[in-house]
Amino acid sequence: MKLKVVSEFHDKYTDQLYKIGEEIEVDEARGNELLSSSFSLVEPIEEEQKEKDTEKPKKKRTKKAKE
Protein backbone atom coordinates (compact mmCIF):
# COMPACT_ATOMS: atom_id res chain seq x y z
CA MET A 1 0.00 0.00 0.00
CA LYS A 2 1.38 3.40 -0.96
CA LEU A 3 0.83 6.33 1.36
CA LYS A 4 1.77 10.01 1.42
CA VAL A 5 2.93 11.48 4.73
CA VAL A 6 0.87 14.54 5.73
CA SER A 7 2.18 14.90 9.29
CA GLU A 8 5.76 14.15 10.39
CA PHE A 9 6.01 11.06 12.61
CA HIS A 10 8.32 8.34 13.92
CA ASP A 11 7.29 4.82 12.96
CA LYS A 12 6.79 2.94 16.21
CA TYR A 13 8.00 -0.32 14.71
CA THR A 14 11.07 0.84 12.78
CA ASP A 15 11.79 4.12 14.63
CA GLN A 16 12.20 5.74 11.22
CA LEU A 17 11.33 9.43 10.87
CA TYR A 18 8.90 10.19 8.06
CA LYS A 19 8.67 13.80 6.87
CA ILE A 20 5.77 15.61 5.26
CA GLY A 21 5.43 14.89 1.56
CA GLU A 22 7.30 11.57 1.58
CA GLU A 23 5.72 8.66 -0.24
CA ILE A 24 6.06 5.39 1.64
CA GLU A 25 5.09 1.81 0.91
CA VAL A 26 3.86 -0.44 3.72
CA ASP A 27 1.95 -3.69 3.96
CA GLU A 28 -1.86 -3.63 4.03
CA ALA A 29 -2.16 -4.12 7.81
CA ARG A 30 0.31 -1.33 8.66
CA GLY A 31 -1.28 0.95 6.07
CA ASN A 32 -4.71 0.49 7.61
CA GLU A 33 -3.24 1.13 11.06
CA LEU A 34 -1.67 4.41 9.91
CA LEU A 35 -4.81 5.49 8.07
CA SER A 36 -7.01 4.83 11.11
CA SER A 37 -4.82 6.97 13.38
CA SER A 38 -6.63 9.98 14.86
CA PHE A 39 -3.48 12.05 14.17
CA SER A 40 -4.01 12.05 10.36
CA LEU A 41 -0.44 10.96 9.67
CA VAL A 42 -0.88 9.74 6.09
CA GLU A 43 -3.24 9.70 3.15
CA PRO A 44 -3.59 6.99 0.52
CA ILE A 45 -2.04 7.44 -2.90
CA GLU A 46 -4.40 6.54 -5.69
CA GLU A 47 -3.13 3.65 -7.75
CA GLU A 48 -5.21 4.48 -10.82
CA GLN A 49 -2.09 5.54 -12.70
CA LYS A 50 -0.59 2.06 -12.34
CA GLU A 51 -3.74 0.48 -13.74
CA LYS A 52 -3.73 2.87 -16.70
CA ASP A 53 -0.05 2.19 -17.36
CA THR A 54 -0.59 -1.56 -17.47
CA GLU A 55 -3.48 -1.42 -19.95
CA LYS A 56 -2.51 -2.49 -23.43
CA PRO A 57 -3.05 0.17 -26.04
CA LYS A 58 -5.77 -0.66 -28.51
CA LYS A 59 -4.59 -1.37 -32.02
CA LYS A 60 -6.10 0.67 -34.80
CA ARG A 61 -7.73 -1.44 -37.45
CA THR A 62 -7.18 -0.52 -41.05
CA LYS A 63 -9.00 -1.73 -44.10
CA LYS A 64 -7.08 -3.97 -46.46
CA ALA A 65 -6.63 -2.63 -49.95
CA LYS A 66 -8.45 -4.51 -52.67
CA GLU A 67 -6.16 -6.20 -55.14
| pLDDT given for residue 52 in this prediction | 56
User: Model-level pTM?
Assistant: 0.65
Kindly give, in sequence order, each residue whose CB lies less than 8 Å from that of residue 23, ignoring residues fewer than 6 positions away: 2, 3, 4, 5, 45
Quote the Cα angle for 58-63-67, to 5°. Answer: 150
Query: Which of the pair, 64 or 33, is modelled with greater confidence?
Result: 33
What residue spans define the domains of the chain? 1-38
